[in-house]
Amino acid sequence: MKKYLEMFSVFFKIGAFTIGGGYAMVPLIEAEVVDKKKWIEKDEFVDTLALAQSSPGPIAVNTAVFVGFKMDRYKGAFFTTLGAVLPSFLIILAIAMFFREIKDLEAVESAFKAIRPAVVALIATSVISLSKNSKLKGKAFIIPIAVAACVTFLKITPIIFIILAAVGGNLYMAKKGGKK
């Protein structure tokens, strides 16, 4: 039971203290799961993220599921997922109870405006970290920047880039013969 509580508490802590959604959680998950706890290797984490991104649902929850499943199959997935989801649920529940009364307060609006740059920085950290660990050495960070620019400024749907990445990844693996 101690192992399950540890898995739950690691993801609960990440879920409770990360603002900005799944991509903002990625560097914290990596620091805990790969660097501190050594539950999975760095290469395996990058592969897990690729799988989590291509699966339906939030990336942080998907990552929690995959890490938990790796640790101890279904029980592990249950406890890591519960840890990742429960803080958000409790916070949203509390906010929903009081939001109507406080939503127009200037301090609340200012707080939301102040949080935005921090979220952008956390997501940028995640992109830089993942590009460093990418098998595409060198200037791999250019790919997500170019895709973000195309989606933002040229209004190209992200689905096209997801399909291109899937086809490109499959072609790359076929060329390499399925070897890492």
Rg (CA), the chain: 18
**pLDDT tens track for 12-46:** 999 888 777 777 888 889 999 999 999 999 889 98
The candidate with the shortest Cα–Cα distance to 84, out of 68, 70, 71, is 68
**Structural tokens at position 46:** 């990058």
Lowest mean pLDDT among 57-61, 99-103, 149-153: 99-103
Residue for token pair 């992200």 = 158
| Residue 54 DSSP label | H
Kind and range of the H or E element at 95? helix 59-102
The shares of helix, strand and coil residues in the chain, as percent rounded to the nearest 5, are 80, 0, 20
Q: Is 90 exceeded by the pLDDT of residue 11?
A: yes
**Structural tokens at position 164:** 């291109």
Instruction: Specify whether the CB–CB gap between 60 and 29 falls below 8 A.
Output: yes
Exposure b/e, 70-86, CB count within 10 A at least 16 = b: bbeeeebbbbbbbbbbe
Instruction: Report the mean per-residue pLDDT for the chain.
Output: 85
Instruction: Specify whether the CB–CB gap between 15 and 83 falls below 8 A.
Output: yes
The predicted structure's pLDDT at residue 179: 57
**pLDDT tens track for 129-168:** 776 766 666 666 677 788 888 998 999 998 999 899 889 8
